[in-house]
Amino acid sequence: MNKPKMTTEKGVPSNSRVLMLLGQLERLNREAMLADAEIGRQITAKILHLIQTQEKTRKEIMSKGSSGMEVILATLENTQDLQTILNILYILNELLTVGGGRRVGVFVSKGGTGILLQLVLSGSKESLPSEELMLQLHSLLAKVGPKDRKFGVKARLNGALNVTVNLLKQNLQNHKLLLPCLQVLRVYSSNSVNAVSLGKNGVLELMFKIIGPYSKKNTSLLKVSLDTLGALLKSKTNARRAVDRAHVPVLLYIYQDWHRNDTRHRHMLIRKGVLGCLKNITNIKLGRKAFIDADGMRILYNTSTECLPVRTLDPLINTSSLIMRKCFPKNRLPLPTIKSVFHHQLPHVPAGGPVAQLYNQPLGVDDVVDESDDNDDVETENDTENEEEDKDHHARNDDIETDINKLRPKETNSRPFEELKIYERFFLELSEDFQRFNFDNPKSGVTATPAAPKSQRPIIVPTAQALPPKYPTAAPLQEECHLAKGEQPHPEASPLAPAPTPAPVHTLDTINITKDHDGCCDHSQVRPQPGLEQELVQGMERVALEGTGPQGGAGGGGVNRHYRQPPLLAGGVAAQQGGGAEETLAEEWAEEEGGEGAVLEVPDTALLLPLHDPDLYVEMVKSTRSVPQYSEVAYPDYFGHVAPTFREHILERVYGVQRTKIFQDIERLIHPNDILDKVVYDLDIQSCPVIDDGESLKFNSQFESGNLRKAIQARKFEYDLVLNSDINSNHYHQWFYFEVSGMRVGAPYRFNIINCEKSNSQFNYGMQVLMYSVQEAISGRPRWVRTGTDICYYKNHFSRSSIAAGGQKGKSYYTMTFSMTFNHKDDVCYFAYHYPYTYSTLKMHLQKLEALRTPQIYMRQDILCETLGGNSCPLLTITAMPESTSNDQICQFRNRPLVFLSSRVHPGETNASWVMKGTLEFLMGSSPLAHSLREAYIFKIVPMLNPDGVVNGNHRCSLSGEDLNRQWQSPSPELHPTIYHTKSLLQYLAAIQRAPLVFCDYHGHSRKKNVFMYGCSLKETVWQTNISATSCELHEDLGYRTLPKILSQTAPAFSMASCSFVVERSKEATARVVVWREIGVQRSYTMESTLCGCDQGKYKGLQIGTRELEEMGAQFCVALLRLKRLTSPLELRNHAHLLDVESDLIETRCKVSSSPSTYVLEDEEHSFMEEVDYSAESGDEPDNDPDAADPHDNRLSDSESNNHRDSLT
């Protein structure tokens, strides 16, 4: 301690005076002179006076290095004089009232809490305890307790807990003493053991004696009492006790009374305190039942509705909404089973895993609901993601690989070369000598694998004509629900199928689609179409279906009549040319249709879409095999998509939109008679999935990549939609693609997809759904557009069984809701999760690309294998032709480094296919850059790794019911043929010492913005762990960062800051990690493209479209060319700025943050800062796939955080 200078009192500054007084007090303690009580009183009184009058005195006592606090506490502990004790308590109150938590922390660290508690105990033993002493002690304890983590334990062990309770019981009318006692009791109750003990001692009943109906008196006391009661009710034992003693109706009555009388909203904290008590009681099942029985749903709904106009009452609305959501009875998903409607028998069932469990599930088991719907009681409920992040902090780094042996790439030849040699046929370019190639006519030398023969199957394209209700314009299956018959089961997939896919065994009708050679029809044969202005259709190319009536026949006399095919799939009826009966029947049909020729008007988009041809697309569909045997073509896939020229901004969230939607859901329980609950579409009714009464919307998803299982009309303009599970699975609900017709113009429709599974979505952060209008397409605007308002994503009341949740109980599904107003009468509209890209579209694009091949391009298309569903998996080889057959040219051709690209392993990530389309178009282009790129590399490309999943509308799995991007370690040739043979290609290349320079798997990401990469780095992974490794062990070429770095400088949508190069245990079976570890490809990447949009760069604030995605594919090619130049010795000196990656690596090292499933950098979206959050709950399973699923990073950018801070999820 600093010794005070002994000088006269008058001329001594105040800070020195307090030091002098403290020195005197210290000597009294040291010399045991406290027996002289009067001296102690005088000194402490003088110190108190100085502190009260001089702010500098407080700072002097609490300054660093000062021993003033120790002296004061020592005196407090040793003195027996009541007045001295009171003086010191007054001093401490003055010191700790200001200065924030630091001063309280100093007090706690010096052992002050224990001294105060001991004084409480000793003071209670007096025959007449001093009220002032107890008042001051409890006032101090109320300030100190929250800062002392051991406060509750200390009070219980010391005995002060019971003293406070007894003091409370004896002073219920003494409000002056009651208030600090309640404040301390509130802190005591934060300890769960204390809370139970206090409940047994009757403290709950005491609280209910203090709280009561509306009163203007003692509001501070009432507020603290409610806070204390809320803390006590966090204990399940106390919550049960409150229910048993019928306190729930009492709390509801009190809340109603305060709501009714607090008209000026001056006591919002009291009302929130009552809600806090109800919130904690309803954490247990008994509490929720008591709340429902007491009509709590109606009470809180009505009071909340009355609070809506007052913005400052949002905390009350939020808490009320949370309670109502929690107490909303769990509903059964309206399905007979959560398994997919469609089934594909596997060649053999895996020994273990989800698919085995699905096949081994006993018959008769209800997999939609189970005991998990009881929603086991929880001690506390996490309301915000901040608490979730606290939990994540403890589990941080658990998923990072810590075994250095596994982190060090090893080229393992797990298969003998003789076994791999059969893959030599896919690498003809490595041995091609071009001796038989005619350089005078180069194109004759390299041909693609011929397309598979067509299957004879009717392909139906719905129209958007203005038809009377008797003959609606939706898909043909909506009138006569008759699927095409006669298809035989698909044969087992063969491991290799270099030959073209054989035609299906069945024989079905074909349709003829004709184009007028001059680009327009004979208008004398086509009547004007109501609802469409004539000038919008002039000059457009028209495609007509030669209509066949129920008896067949398309007309005769050489006249091509443009009749719409009747809504009947007449399987097996051959079209006949000529014949009066058939022509008459067709004419009668046209008359019934209102006399309008059913003309498919196709906008002339040939210049805008050089790779699209409607005729060719239909031909491709005929050879595509699906489990449901689809026989319809969706209009958008037939017409094509021309990217809009206008910008589509990320949707700004409307304040309170989710709260409004949630309240509308709650109304269903309160006013059940208002709910129609009418099924209008149901794939589980195979005979007739469409229920059409003329009053409701009509839905359809029975076309390639379609996914909608059920539609239920809830209100006049509101529909609940249920998605289908992936085939051979019971979950993965995210991708949707369906058709809607029969809408009313201007009506405010609301669509709710009610069985989403992920705990958050970019739909909460500005992403919109996509819509394609047939009327717009006919009018010359064939395009997908971002649409929908009031979009939000939140947890709903439909229970998710433990069977579907991987054994986890008490889970719920999530709702993605959007509102829509239609602009056209008799339109047919399509909605999709993202821009659809079907397998048939890929086949069409590949055939058109082949037609673009010039003599300078070497392009070969092979069939790598057949899938489980009998579809072929194409493999492309693209490079530049050698200039001649000279040895130097042939040698240079064969020794070009390889780049291996793949895409669309997850069917729902359609953006990956659009990026691949951009890559393929660039590679086949005629620009000098494209030519240089082809001369630099040989490209091996698998553009669609999961054709079956794409065709059948799956989101994540193949027909095996498994995520193919988790099968790369040990793929099965029978169950995972595309992965098995793609990996075999890479193993073959490694065996002949030609491993690719770059491997990249294109994916889509649903929870992050921008485009970015995941790679593999030993050094960056070790940095995230506690592994102690020498610099020798961590030696690593930093070249893996070069390509992402180039992309960040050239591609506007790419974000280097979002990239991660950490290897995680849960990703060890993904393509990226296996190719890096087993094949030895240092530059092995997953490139993730956002489904939403960008928050940086040129496209900041915009939703991403196909133009930007295709641009990204092209920019990837440009980056590869720059990579080639940078890694050439002659170029190194000129591009040192791009190779300086060591400094970038060090800069980002300290910025890396983690989430439960991936490790990303600081420009991630910030935490969802809304006060109530239904998008995540305690115990939600993390998503385990940053490579392609979606890491559990529910984050907002700075601007989003500010915009959404006050709104509900």
Residue 305, beta-bridge partner list:
none
Nearest to residue 755, comparing CAs of 806, 711, 721, 802? 721
**What residues does 901 pair with on adjacent strands?**
941, 1000
User: How far apart, in whole angstroms, are the C-alpha atoms of residue 1206 and residue 1168?
Assistant: 10
How many residues are listed for the chain in this entry? 1209
Catalytic residue among 1088, 1111, 1164, 1200: 1088
CA angle 8, 10, 15 (to 5 degrees): 90
What are the respective helix, strand and coil percentages of the chain, to the nearest 5? Answer: 40, 15, 45
Q: How far is CA 788 from the centre of its chain?
A: 18
Residue 728 region, left (φ>0) first, then alpha (ψ -120 to 50), else beta? left
**Contact of 914 with 1109, CB cutoff 8 Å:** yes
Nearest to 829 by CA among 468, 475, 391: 475
Rounded Cα distance, 607 and 642, in Å: 10
Dist CA 1068 CA 1078 (whole Å)? 11
| DSSP state at residue 1076 | I
| Residue 118 CB coordination number (10 Å) | 16
- Got the DSSP string for 980-1026? HHHHHHHHHHHHTT---SEEEEEEEESSS-SEEEE---HHHHHHTS-
Residue 231 identity: A
Show the tokens assigned to 1025: 């762990």
Residue 886 one-letter amino acid: S
Is the distance from CB of 328 to CB of 666 less than 8 angstroms? yes
Beta strands at 1083-1090 and 1011-1014: parallel, antiparallel or unpaired: antiparallel
Token output for 725: 């599970």
Place of tokens 């690498």: 427
Residues 420-428: contacts with CB within 8 Å, 24+ apart? 420/984, 420/987, 420/988, 420/991, 421/988, 422/496, 423/981, 423/984, 423/985, 423/988, 424/988, 425/498, 425/862, 426/862, 426/864, 426/875, 426/877, 426/940, 426/985, 427/988, 427/989, 428/860, 428/877
Place of tokens 């009555």: 253
- As to burial, measured by CB atoms within 10 angstroms (0-12 exposed, 13-18 middle, 19+ buried), residue 393 is exposed
DSSP state of 429: G
d(CA 732, CA 617): 29
Q: Which of 762, 747, 751, 884 is nearest to 824 (CA)?
A: 747
* Residue 188 and residue 234 in contact, taking contact as beta carbons nearer than 8 Å: no
By the 8 A CB rule, do 106 and 62 touch? yes
Residue 353 region by backbone torsions, left for phi larger than 0, else alpha for psi between -120 and 50, else beta: left
Query: 3-class SS at 439?
Result: coil
Find, among 1097, 380, 1173, the residue nearest to 760 by Cα. 1173
Q: Tell me 883's DSSP state.
A: S
248 by DSSP, 3-state: which?
helix
Residue 596 is among the residues annotated as catalytic for this protein: no
Q: Which residues are catalytic?
A: 1088
